[in-house]
A and B are shown apart, each in its own frame.
Chain A
Amino acid sequence: MSTENQFIPQENNGEVIYKGHTFYILYPNSGKTIEDLLAYSAILIHAVHSTYADFTIQRLRSYKDQRMYLKPIFFLQPSADSGKYINRLIDGSVFNLNQLESILPRIEDILTRTNQLKNYTASTYEASLITKFLTQSYTRGRKYIEPIPYIFSGINYAYPGISCNFDHTEENKVFAILDLAEKEGLIQGEFYDKTHYCNKCNHGALNYRSVCPKCASSNSETQDIIHHFPCGNVGPMSDFQNEVNDHLNCPKCNKQLRHIGVDYDKPSILHTCMKCDHKFQDFEVKAKCLNCEFDNELEELIEKEIKRYSITNKGENATIFGYLPSNKEMEEIPGTVRYSLFSSMVKSEIERIRIIHSHSNLAMIYLHNSGELVSRIGGDRRRIIIKEVVSTVAQFLRPYDIIAYKNPSLMMVTMYDISQENGLLLLEEIVELLRKLLSNNVKDFEVKIEYKIQAISTKIPYKDQVESLIQGFD
């Protein structure tokens, strides 16, 4: 086929349309928001400036919207190899638009696989991250989640699809996500490597230094120890050096040292600390953290096993049909009941109000950014805050009202023997208090809460009533 017959894709304000697909070429300062990019089939990051390209791909892959993080993204005109980790985040590279033809099969494959995924919303922050890396792997046809040594990683290894969601100071949370996924049986880990982290800040950038065992200074001088055989004199090289020439002379017997191994040898070495003048033969090795500058003893370093993960059958199913966390944690919160029990009790309440002709309500409180909350406060503090939330809510309710968590974002409560109007007022008070509670506990955290109340009907099945209450939030 001659060049003249080929269709050359043309760029128009960054947009390229080629064989039914729309591409957007992302330049530095293009002015587009990520939301603006969702509509395109694929993104081409103009990668002449690798720093920009590396930053951009990580930002796009860490975006919360599945339509973006699963989108086919390519580098256009990459100036240099960005390394294994960045290469794993992109779907390929092209050097000019003429090469778009070559990436079409890849794009179509990714889009086809993406379309196979059922639409669902992850119920927790952890679930959303697990979903993210599972779906990214699935749409790229990868069965494994491999750690990649990455110089800019705070944990020394980067897991494509997960690591980019955290900044350097929080990157070790990757392990919590992977451990959870493994515990849930979605992935199966196998040993890959061991790595060490700072005992103070958990960072992996460590400078292993040979230091003086007394003052930990790395400033030292090393000398050979010389043993003069005929007289048994032993001392550092400087004892044997004279000021006249390069010859070595024994200060004990005044003989010239002539032949190493015959009349003298160097049985050992001696280090002298230039800071404290301590003489020693074995350096102490310490690991200085390049992040917080803490000088770690080697035995105090945090050792972590780095695993390579394969996606299990359960993991594949969860990828396509959606991952529902087992939520054991949520079931164990004092003052709450399990979601299944909550539904059963709604059924009983329907019967009760049918007999006594009373008014009862179901309400739900949904925290939109629970994922962000978790990443900000960590797992341990989250449990404490959840307990506080439960006790705050409970003080507004009657003793026989019940509270249940469907997931960490979604709380459900009953409001027995109260009109819907009064229930709504009560609910508004509860939400206001929750806003204050969360704002006080997490600095600079914007609380995004939605709430809803619904009167219990004696005519609608209990399951439908519960489902209609949480529809759109589950």
Chain B
Amino acid sequence: MNGLSVAIDEVAIQRAKLGDSRALEQLYRAYQSSVYTLARRICRVPEDAEEVLQDTFVEVCRSIGKFRGEGPGSLTAWIKRIAASKALMLIRREKYRETDEFNEDLGAGSTSPAQVGLRMDLEAALERLPRRSRAVVWLHDVEGYTHEDIADMMGKTVSFSKSQLARAHARLRGWLGEGEQC
């Protein structure tokens, strides 16, 4: 999982489950960066990512008593799943549909990949992807979710997730100027 620094032990998890506000804050401090990054990558807009961050931890605080996993690993997966669901819920809103149409119109053109370094190219290319493709790429390739998980979270089919991923890679490949496709 991406960008995660976990400084949470089993005692802190148990205390958080009992509603201890210091332990809950400790969870927030440990996971905020990875949750915000996931949200930023999916939503793209910083303000929306902040909303996802806040909503995710409100949900974590409300539901941690029902969390049945053991250890920081499963807690990470649980928190990230909440964050991914919140981010996907947010990008279903109307304004994102409009932004997507705009992105589709942009095509492969406006910024020359040769003008900036590879990382910036990839950042820009990722941002330019339509919202659902971007979400699938990030969740599958970076966060490690399966197509079944993604389909479940998005309320779509597995084949939808697979085709979005392939289309996204075809686009990224073209935008990054990686030569003629075989």
| A and B are interacting partners | no
State the A residues within 8 Å of B (CB): none
State the B residues within 8 Å of A (CB): none
